[in-house]
Structure 1
């Protein structure tokens, strides 16, 4: 697998973060796909690999290929939750290296807010969970939070600092919806309780949105319109779908997926300049910070409360405001990648992390069950 290091490059990206305004998920996907392909200096006809998933369509790759007019010779609609798009990076690297496709499109779109939040993560084993009043996915996250508090003394105030840091980053993002509404720890703690100890402001936004990336071999990327961002390492891991199947409520397989990505990249957590980590909830993000190696297990609460993940802190994290304060259209993974690329390109504007040369994008699927990690870097990191 180490032979994939530096073999793949991201050569085009696009995002939509505004309300759908009557557009369909496929229509939004088509818009960002066109923009990303154009940015790369390619023609639609050159795209011969398609990687996509969305709960809106039973056969998303077929639906989108028809809608957009693609004829891919390789397609992948793997579903491991919101981290599917980080997984697609590794899948595309393998497919392109094997000659199964040359130019691949990774694309996602959702009209969740326009649909009044209709995109809901349920449980397959409802007979074991629903009778106990589980509200998916919030109640499983509450179980994780309660266990972390019990084992390590983590407090609701420390969880709240995660939301506050996200809002501080979003204040630097001109497209963020609440950039002019600062958030305090007291604001989070006084917001409605959804599933103890999860407050409303511990939860991600519900938005519309779409994102696309175009990837190809490092060799082909040298002849295209943009400066490539290279894939240095990838990793995946999974162990459960439902919270009743989670082996340890305070540790996840993120530690395994990121270890594989770090190993391939030849880097470690201290070498990462900027991190984009799936933040559906303050509690889940705090656990991931520990498992990704940014602090020791059990120290996530003090780490967040120290200001380390806020603007100016030692660990620049979710620099666009993330799912907590920028957007969360059902699945966030593609947007972690597009923000990481912007940071490495130096095009992130007021939120730009100075001198960023390496980035980690880590996605999670469902209630911390699926994980995929991607380490990205510039040409000098190869």
Structure 2
């Protein structure tokens, strides 16, 4: 690849980050959460709204209270007038994608300080709303009549993984148990109490083979982070966390178009992130992996090259994802125990930043030099992967 087309590894940093402590916010509009977290992230960065000339968000899901022109609505509410903006909607992967796009925009001179923000009331939203992808015309006509939901599509992947490789419910449960253990130290986590493998596999079946505790929590919340050129970051109060690598990829939306239920577009987004950073899976010291369901984590561990395909069950069962293991993951408790308002990519990024700064509210691991963040949207549909470093 010509030098001019290479990702500007390390030249842009995340300089501020803030996660809302809210987990239940009845009567609070999601845009208010945006305002709170943007203010928190800018304060963390030692900057003000007047410094911001780039903005990225998406607020198209009903619990996010936006619709068409959602980014303009949020910007208006919080008082931003960006000259660069991005409302790319990739489901839960959107905010990691926004970070990569912001890096490119800053490097290209389109903006100097960019904020990526997310807010949603997935728990307290006042109106009932359908699952995404429920349009009965166009491609949806081939699946909607059969009643798929987000959880049932992920359950198809879990069932196939079990069929192909002998993965067990107990092995997937080990992922939820580790996330809960990490959350036990996080004062803001939605759930902090003890959780065992037996608790997971004996909890209610939601969509076979996924049990209640194989599924993420449902909360209200949000988060924001600020990006600026690394050179500028040296004058700001917090230690900059450099964006070393980035990749994004789209697979499919309809499950009937997924060629292999046991592998996702994470394989491609991860490969691009590694190439941009000049690294490989063997170099990664920790990871924040999208955990909408336990199977999401399991497939990401394989697709990102941390474990050979089909061997993830034994990998997690042997403690490799614990804080003392080969690859600590989801150190704040993740979406399975801490916080999942509807899309978690922004929150996973924030925890990657906090971990590298020595500020994780959960299982802090000292002396780390890098952390991978990978997010998944839709029905294992779109992914974005980023490598952060200090």
Equivalence for 1:244: 256
Equivalence for 2:144: 130
Residue 315 (structure 2) aligned to one of 303, 314, 326? 303
The reply on whether 1:40 has 2:50 as its aligned counterpart is: no
Equivalence for 2:66: 57
Distance 1:76 1:133 in 2: 32
The structural deviation recorded for 1:126 is 3.6
Decide whether the 8 Å contact of 1:119 with 1:330 is kept in 2. Answer: no
Deviations 1:9-56 (A, max 9, x none): 111111113222422110000011011112211121110101001222
Deviations 1:43-84 (A, max 9, x none): 211101010012221222101111111111111100011111
Decide whether the 8 Å contact of 2:183 with 2:362 is kept in 1. Answer: no
Distance 1:119 1:358 in 2: 39
Q: Which runs of 5+ in 1 are unaligned?
A: none
Q: Which runs of 5+ in 2 are unaligned?
A: none
The reply on whether 1:67 has 2:77 as its aligned counterpart is: yes
Equivalence for 1:235: 247
The structural deviation recorded for 1:127 is 2.3
Decide whether the 8 Å contact of 1:40 with 1:225 is kept in 2. Answer: yes
Equivalence for 2:358: 346
Larger deviation: 261-270 or 110-119?
110-119
Decide whether the 8 Å contact of 2:331 with 2:362 is kept in 1. Answer: no
Structure 2-normalised TM-score?
A: 0.93
Partner secondary structure for residue 214 of structure 1: strand
Distance 2:253 2:247 in 1: 19
Equivalence for 1:322: 334
Distance 2:146 2:7 in 1: 48
The reply on whether 1:22 has 2:42 as its aligned counterpart is: no
Partner secondary structure for residue 143 of structure 2: helix
Distance 2:293 2:42 in 1: 32
The structural deviation recorded for 1:119 is 6.1
Deviations 1:128-167 (A, max 9, x none): 2233232x10111111011111111111111111111111
Equivalence for 2:302: 290
Decide whether the 8 Å contact of 2:140 with 2:254 is kept in 1. Answer: no
Residue 6 (structure 1) aligned to one of 10, 14, 20? 10
**CA 1:256/1:3 → structure 2, altered by over 3 Å: closer, same or farther?**
closer
The reply on whether 1:172 has 2:160 as its aligned counterpart is: no
- Report the RMSD for the aligned CA atoms in angstroms: 1.5
The reply on whether 1:146 has 2:175 as its aligned counterpart is: no
State how 1:359-378 maps to structure 2 within 5 Å: 359-378=371-390
Partner secondary structure for residue 247 of structure 2: strand
Structure 1-normalised TM-score?
A: 0.95
Distance 1:228 1:88 in 2: 18
Equivalence for 2:204: 192
Residue 109 (structure 2) aligned to one of 99, 102, 114? 99
Distance 1:313 1:3 in 2: 31
Distance 1:227 1:235 in 2: 24
Deviations 1:240-261 (A, max 9, x none): 1121121210011111111111
Residue 100 (structure 2) aligned to one of 78, 83, 90? 90
